[in-house]
A = this chain, B = another copy of it.
Amino acid sequence: MRSIQETIELRYTHAVHFTRGVFAAGNLLLRDSLQGGPGPAKVLFVVDRGLAQANPALAGAIAGYCQAHEACLQLVRAPLVVPGGEPVKNSILYTRMVQEAISDFGICRHSYVVAVGGGAVLDMVGYAAATSHRGVRLVRLPSTVLAQNDSGVGVKNGINAFGKKNFLGTFAPPHAVINDLDLLSTLSDRDWRGGTAEAVKVALIKDPAFFEELERNALALSHRNPAAMEQLIYRCAQLHVRHIARHGDPFESGSSRPLDFGHWAAHKLEQLSGFALRHGEAVAIGMALDSAYSCLTGRLPQKDWDRIATLLEKLGFDLYTPELEREELLAGLTEFQEHLGGEMSITLLDGIGKGVQVHEMDHVTVGEAIGELRRWSQNRAVFRRTL
């Protein structure tokens, strides 16, 4: 029996740029990120409806920018506007709509799709772009904290199918990511605050100094201080991107998902709440749960658990939600593992900045951790009432 064996190597440059006023004619970052061949590059914009409604001037600004740089950019049509949030991932129709526009307007592997919006819109548009012509170039302009510091700077895309989150999707490094702080100005307080959860996550598993920085800046962050947020997003995105590039498994072919600390419960809580809980809010509770569990199993010192709970509260998060008491919660452990497959792998904490992989969780102790969150939350309620 004969065999042919070859090694195929691929190399991507993954770049995340930070700017303000990305559509100001004098800001050349976007233009320079859309380099084409000899003629102008064809560009299709897809915009999150929430953002478009909050910024009625956005479509005009995009058209004006392309006009100002018409030697380099050819806007193929007015921006396609799609709903934001989870609904855009629940139907294949929006993906189809973007793919059809790519077909109709002759977007090729040397043209660009620019997605402007929150994480769900970036996920859906990324999936449509990655599967058209086997991958046309995607530039992401995330418009939420969560998308700028986490999902939007990663290499995944996807939509929901067969009742499963992100069942359909691919790994596909974007051509570029541009984080414009100004795009966050119309965010609700709830979404502003929610976005800080992934920063706490990456600090907890990787970087105690970043955790201390978050403790120092917690009040500024909860009061929408832009400079504090800019720094948080930069550091969180940097740790995230470095992890992808430097930890040997960018497309997650193994069983380990250290970046998903707190996420097994978070995904399930989002679903059990009918998505009334936002992703960041659910991640905060999921991290609190796994931190309390780490403490109860003797991994995490009590004083570290107190610091974690205190920081999350200062940032404005609840640590408890009634969905924690639902029996179905523990199914989240199995579902979390099924997506990636292989051995069950959950991240816990041996300390602040010290993530550790374990391969099982004790259901009784999970119940005790939930009790700890309930008590903590009741004490805070009493504390607030006595203020």
Contact = CB atoms under 8 A, between A and B. Distances in A.
A16 interface: yes
B252 A109 contact: yes
Given A8-B244, A237-B4, A135 B251 contact: yes
Query: Chain A contact residues: over half helix, strand or loop, or mixed?
Result: mixed
B5 A134 contact: no
Given A103-B164, A106-B338, A134 B7 contact: no
B14 A6 contact: yes
Nearest to A13: B7
Contacts of A19: 1
A109 B340 contact: yes
B338 A8 contact: no
Given A8-B155, A16-B3, A171 B338 contact: no
A90 interface: no
A13 to B, nearest CB: 6
Interface string A105-131: 010111100000000000000010011
Nearest to A246: B6
Contacts of A56: none
Nearest to A19: B1
A17 interface: yes
A242 to B, nearest CB: 6
A108 B341 contact: yes
Interface string A323-359: 0000000000000001111110000000000000000
Contacts of A246: 6
B171 A134 contact: yes
A340 B110 CA distance: 8
A173 interface: yes
A18 interface: yes
Nearest to A235: B4
Interface in A1-36: 1-19, 29
B10 A14 contact: no
Interface of A: 1-19, 29, 37-38, 99-100, 103-104, 106, 108-111, 127, 130-136, 153, 155-156, 158, 161-162, 164, 166-171, 173, 234, 237-238, 241-242, 244-246, 250-253, 255, 338-343
Closest 6 CB pairs of A and B: A108-B341, A6-B245, A110-B341, A103-B162, A110-B342, A109-B341
Given A9-B250, A99-B168, A110-B342, 19 more contacts: A1-B19, A5-B16, A6-B242, A7-B12, A7-B14, A8-B245, A8-B250, A9-B9, A9-B245, A10-B11, A10-B12, A104-B162, A110-B255, A131-B169, A133-B169, A133-B341, A134-B169, A134-B170, A135-B251
